[in-house]
Structure 1
Amino acid sequence: MLLQIELYVLGAMLVVMIAAWAYGLAVKNGGWTDVFWTWGTGVVLAAAALLANGVGAIGPRNILVAALMAVWCLRLGLYLTPRVASHDEDPRYAKIRATAKTYPLTMLWVTLPQAPATALLGLSVVLAAQAPGAALGLRDGVAAVLFLAAITGEAVSDAQMKRFRENPANKGQVIETGLWAWSRHPNYFFQWLGWLAYPVIALDPAQPVTWLSLAAPAVMYGLLRYVSGVPLLEAEMVKSRGDKFRDYQRRVSVFFPVPPKRA
């Protein structure tokens, strides 16, 4: 059952990401890749959670896990969509456009791997939805609280950054207030934290397959910390802010929130 659902997730997301690639080429904005991925992942994994035990076996846990995915999708999707629609192309994709010899082919190879990434995240979601027990219990409650704390932290981080950018006095400056005084990327940290909710529900050390529920937090941490998140964004910040951002890097944790070092 798990393999069957994962193949469904992979196939559905390949369709979504090919559409994202085509639309991004049409409107000349690679940032739509992130928008399509967010909405596609949310819808596909919410459906996978509902159907994890079969069409006629939708229980409270299926609904809970699907609801967590829906909340994640709505929060991130409603943040990203107007941002991509109203701003210039994200510097990451603009750099690809400027340097790639064959931009459409390069973007295809950037876009398509996001489908199997969703399938890996789906391992955690589906295993959580398939956790034994008809009624919701303590672990479900802990997972829901953890997830809501993560969503709240991410929303607060984004709101703090939005206010900072909207203030003309902060042009060319580096934000060092609120959550951004404890982590250089608190929004990424809280986004990662939310994916821990699924192994909280699913993980049973006595059942080897449930260790796969750690796939989502592991994959998300790798992507945000070492691939498409921190490295690319910090390279742009060093380029645009110079020594101000280098000083910020020396004093403030890159990912996990901890008290900042003294100047």
Structure 2
Amino acid sequence: MLLKLFLLDVVIMLISWLIVTYNKRAGLVDVAWSFCIAVNVICAAFLLDIAPVSVRIFIGLSSSIWFLRLTWHLFRRYWHETEEDRRYANMRRTMGQLKHWGFLAFFIFQAVLAILFSYPMLALFSSPVTQWNEWIHWAITAAALIMLLAFIGESTADQQLYRFKQNPNNQGQTMDQGLWKYSRHPNYFFEWLHWFAYPIVGLAAGLYLLWIYPLLMWLFLYYITGIPFSEQQALRHRGQNYQDYQQRTSMFIPRQPKE
């Protein structure tokens, strides 16, 4: 199953790479990555008839809805962009004449990451009924509450930022209203929170390894792909306006802003 899903993800990424080769807007890779995870979850939920029905229904629905919403949000943002995402524009300049094959390798690597971040759901789907203990319903209830809070938080933050950017009067300004008043990256915070749902469900099946995923996502967001680049770009393009925002607003965990 894992190999088949990986090959399917590679096909999705290759199609996306061909599109990007034509339109020179590599931000499509983010859309494809989220879509790959959604496809992996949906396929596994239907094809792996091993785990308890309650687990298959909860993880299948909640996780696929989560990543399909994220796919739609990223696609909507991508569709309305007139220029290539600065992250990938910088990559294109750095790779120079090797950019064609460099982006091919990058897209294939994203298929690897899609499988990596699909593993918690696949592990839960692959755990036989006899492996689960009597705490399964409590674990699903707790995970459902976390998933619901994270879904409301991230979708709200994404929608608030989307509407802010659609207003031409906000050009060069920093979004500091709504959830963005309490965190400079509320969307990342709720994305991270969502990853706690899987290890909590996994407690009822002895899948303690899944606790590495909240840590892994935090490392990606906090140090690698998320916050560092976003902060650098914001400072470069908004200068003092963003510095003032940094001084009064928490970087990650939402809390009351400083006076």
- CA drift of 1:119 comes to 2.2
Deviations along 1:58-97, whole A, 9 cap, x unmatched?
A: 7221121111121112211111112212312211112222
On the 8 A contact 2:20/2:28 being kept in 1, the answer is yes
- CA drift of 1:137 comes to 0.8
On the 8 A contact 1:189/1:256 being kept in 2, the answer is yes
- CA drift of 1:171 comes to 2.0
> Structure 1 runs of 4+ off > 6 angstroms?
none
2-structure distance, mates of 1:7, 1:246: 46
The answer to which of 133-142 and 74-83 deviates more is: 133-142
1-structure distance, mates of 2:21, 2:213: 29
Q: How many residues align?
A: 253
- CA drift of 1:135 comes to 9.9
TM-aligned CA distance change 1:122 to 1:166, over 3 Å: closer
Q: 2:91 aligns with which of 87, 96, 101?
A: 96
Identical-pair percentage: 34
Q: 2:234 aligns with which of 232, 237, 242?
A: 237
Structure 2 gap ranges (5+): none
Partner of 2:43: 47
Q: 1:22 aligns with which of 10, 18, 24?
A: 18
2-structure distance, mates of 1:38, 1:158: 15
Q: TM-score scaled by structure 2?
A: 0.87
Partner of 1:79: 73
1-structure distance, mates of 2:159, 2:118: 28
Partner of 2:123: 127
On the 8 A contact 1:50/1:58 being kept in 2, the answer is no
Q: TM-score scaled by structure 1?
A: 0.86
2-structure distance, mates of 1:99, 1:28: 15
The answer to which of 94-103 and 7-16 deviates more is: 7-16
TM-aligned CA distance change 1:83 to 1:163, over 3 Å: closer
Deviations along 1:172-229, whole A, 9 cap, x unmatched?
A: 111211111111110111111112111110025x94xx12212432332222222221
On the 8 A contact 2:36/2:114 being kept in 1, the answer is no
Higher helix proportion, which one? Answer: 2
TM-aligned CA distance change 1:215 to 1:121, over 3 Å: farther
Q: CA RMSD in A?
A: 2.3
Partner of 1:221: 218
TM-aligned CA distance change 1:134 to 1:74, over 3 Å: farther
Q: 1:111 aligns with which of 107, 110, 126?
A: 107
TM-aligned CA distance change 1:120 to 1:203, over 3 Å: farther
Q: 1:254 aligns with which of 251, 255, 258?
A: 251
